Structure formats: C-alpha cells, structure tokens
Amino acid sequence: MAKVSKRLKTLNEKLEKGAIYNLDNASKKIGELKSAKFDETVEMAVWLNVDPRHADQMIRGAVVLPHGTGKTVRVAVFAKGDKAKEAQDAGADIVGENDLAEDVQKGVINFDIVIATPDMMGVVGKIGRILGPKGLMPNPKTGTVTMDVKTAVKNAKGGQVNFKVDKKGNIHAGIGKASFTSAAIKENAETLMKALNRMKPSTAKGKYVKKAAMSLTMSPSILLDVNELVELRG
C-alpha cells in the first residue's frame, strides 16, 4: 500500500470522509486545502454518462468563464491581410502564416491556444500532427476556427476554457486559482456545468452526470452533488 504523505493526510482530515458537497460549500472548502507555495489551479473533473465512440456523444466545446482562469494565455493566430491586423489589434501574441507554421515544425511552440481563419486551415493542417497531440489544433466547435478573430482572441485572453471528453467519458477543466474568492470559483463552476448540460446528447441514456469532483493541483478531491449539477441551466 502506498504511503500517504503527512501533507496529504492533513488535507484529507479537513474533508469529511465520504461527504458530498454542494457547489457553495465546495467552493468555500477548496480554500482550506491550499498547501503549495504557488497559486494552485482549481480543477473540476466531471464523469459524463456518454460513449465517445459515437460521434453524436463526443462532447467538445468551449466556454468563457466569467472570472477567467487566472492563467496568462499566449495566443497564436494563423491569419493574413486584414484579419492578421485584426488579430494583432485584439492582443494576439503571435500572428503569422507559413512563417508561423515553419516555426512550429522547428519545435518553436511558445503559445497556449491557436486560432485560425478558415482560409488558413490548409497551412495549419500541415502541422496538425504536431498541434493535435498537444491539444492545440484549432476547431470550429471551440470557436478557434473563425473569421471573427477579434472575438476569438478576446475570449482566449479573457478566460475561455476548451473541453473535450476523453475515451472514458471524463472532462477535466481548470476553472480558476486558489487565490480566487469562493464566489468566483462557484460561478465559474456553474458556468462550465451549464455549458456541459446544454450539450447533453439526446441519445445519452440514464443519468447524464455520473460523478464530479473539485480539487486543487496538490489537494485531495471534493466530491460534488451531481443532482445539483445536472439542474444548472442557462
């Protein structure tokens, strides 16, 4: 049996064994679990009752959190002409065409999100084998393949979270930082869940949310009340 560290044991003692928390209490409790010297990320994990092997049950999208993620996001945009200028004016960190693709091929990847106009997807497609495994490939479902470059850059900089269900039906997303107020964490969590509920497939049977939890980067998980989560709408 793996030995539990003294730090983790102390944190576990702050949680009632087997307890299920509503979002309000979980968002307050998460602040008591801070133990790192850095500003830990508040992470949310949701296990959905979907089968990603079926295209109509592949949950993938994006949502802009009202309080942001607390993370500084570097945005790269593939665009040309007026759209390139629009991206620069909107605050994109890197803007380019073939030159940007060549940098990526050389291993120069100093950005966190990639946005592309539809006419640039031919260029982006050539480096898809590099961007794809890193989760950086632009996709219309996440709003990162668009002619509205200004809005896309603004959303990316302002706290957009991209999510995609894994093979087992799980979604993981960073919804803030340990330094956030409990009210901000709660509202961000609610916003994420509303987005997931809007995407519930009509073919998904049974309870949509099987299990959900909130945690910090270096903390144990707080189990969430799934009955509350599935009722979030808007």
The reported pLDDT for the residue numbered 204 is 83
Q: How do the domains of the chain map onto residue ranges?
A: 16-68+160-229, 75-158
Question: To which residue do tokens 């592949």 refer?
Answer: 58
CATH of domain 16-68+160-229: 3.30.190.20
DSSP 212: E
Dump strand ranges (E) for 99-169. Answer: 113-116, 160-164
The percentage of the chain sitting over the pLDDT mark of 90, rounded to a whole number, equals 83
Pairwise CA distance, residues 161 & 75, whole Å: 13
Q: Is 134 exposed, middle or buried (0-12, 13-18, 19+ CB in 10 A)?
A: exposed
CATH fold for domain 75-158: Rossmann fold (3.40.50)
pTM given for the model? 0.84
Count of alpha carbons within 13 angstroms of residue 111, beta-carbon side = 25
CA-CA-CA-CA torsion for 88, 100, 118, 175, nearest 10 degrees? -70
Token pair of 188 as six digits: 């961000």
The percentage of the chain sitting over the pLDDT mark of 70, rounded to a whole number, equals 98
| Same fold flag, 16-68+160-229 and 75-158 | no
User: Over the stretch 20-67, which tens digit does the pLDDT of each residue have?
Assistant: 999 999 999 999 999 889 999 999 999 999 999 999 999 999 999 999
Q: Is the pLDDT of residue 1 over 50?
A: no
Residues forming beta bridges with residue 145, ordered by sequence position: 116
Q: Give the largest CA-CA distance in the chain.
A: 61
Can you give the length of the chain in residues?
234
Work out the pLDDT band at 3, boundaries 50, 70, 90: low
